[in-house]
Amino acid sequence: MNGALVIDKASGMTSHDVVDEVRKRLRTKRVGHGGTLDPDATGILLIGVGKATRFLSYAQASPKRYEAVVQLGSATSTQDASGDVLYQRPVTCDVEHLTKALERFRGPIQQIPPMVSAVRVGGKRLHELARAGQEVERQPRDVTIYELRLIDVDLETSSRATLDVRCSGGTYVRTLAHDLGEALGCGGHLVSLRRTEAAGFTLDEAIAIDDVSEETLRPLVDVVHELPRLDIDAEMAALVANGRPLFVEEPLSKGTVAAVVNEGVLLGVYRSEGNRLVAERVVGR
């Protein structure tokens, strides 16, 4: 049993909870997910089943889109609503000031991972250290915010702003909320988060966990939905089965990673060296 599921994760479930539920429903152990969602967050979680698990890293690296609600006027220990309030300050900015502040977060930026995260420091995950009451120095990480739009705001009563965020894999949206609050001088934290796009899929294509069955499995090729696609003939497909290099007449840009497909079936993922492509991962028999 090999393929992909695009799940609309409900609030209150961890990403691993979703994996466990899929294992039960499909009666198979080889299941993984392509990009963690916090328990309180909702939205798209790509699940790989069988051989698809070997290709999930390509989905994790692809851009993602979120709808994020930011509470201005207070900062928390976890940068979201689950943490303790660190401080509260009056919200004195107007919409123009808020819109201007968003500009500094567009494009390549650096983020310091929050203490409540799965990043490892000294062999331990930060959330484990946080639970033990420890705070350690974290190195900034390079991420990219491709799009950042203000789609709703109420500064008079709730002091909340709703953002549409399209960002690179590994971006912490709650850190974005925290840093935005810092930039405005009033503090801020993430109230709710919904992933609306991931791995090339939108919420319109997602299903609830209760609807998972073998019939809802998508083809294996959907796991690498976002990669450039190279369709090859049966003769070249025989080479891929053995992980052999491929030679093409029209070279891809050097370093390009492409999904190699024959008659709609994923055979592997290859990296271009010009006219020569070398195997990174092969599906195999």
Same domain membership, residue 42 and residue 92:
no
Q: Is the pLDDT of residue 116 over 70?
A: no
Same domain membership, residue 254 and residue 180:
no
The total number of residues written for the chain in this structure: 285
Question: What CATH number does residue 55 fall under?
Answer: 3.30.2350.10
Question: What CATH number does residue 253 fall under?
Answer: 2.30.130.10
pLDDT value at residue 133: 59
Same domain membership, residue 68 and residue 193:
yes
pLDDT value at residue 262: 94
pLDDT value at residue 90: 95
Q: What is the pLDDT of residues 248-273, one digit of tens each?
A: 888 888 889 999 999 999 999 999 99
Count of domains in the chain?
3
198 by Cβ neighbours in 10 Å (0-12 / 13-18 / 19+) ranks as buried
pLDDT value at residue 38: 87
Is 40 an annotated catalytic residue?
Answer: no
| Global confidence as pTM | 0.89
* Domain coverage including residue 107: 64-198
In the 8-state DSSP scheme, what is residue 218?
B
Separation between Cα atoms, residue 37 and residue 21, nearest integer Å = 15
Same domain membership, residue 159 and residue 80:
yes
Which residues is 167 bridged to in the sheet? 64, 145
pLDDT value at residue 253: 86
Q: What is the pLDDT of residues 37-93, one digit of tens each?
A: 888 999 999 999 999 999 999 988 889 999 999 999 999 999 999 889 999 999 999
Separation between Cα atoms, residue 196 and residue 166, nearest integer Å = 9
pLDDT value at residue 119: 59
In the 8-state DSSP scheme, what is residue 263?
T
Over the chain, what is the mean pLDDT? Answer: 90
Separation between Cα atoms, residue 46 and residue 98, nearest integer Å = 33
The catalytic residue among 8, 17, 38, 204 is 38
Which residues is 88 bridged to in the sheet? 74
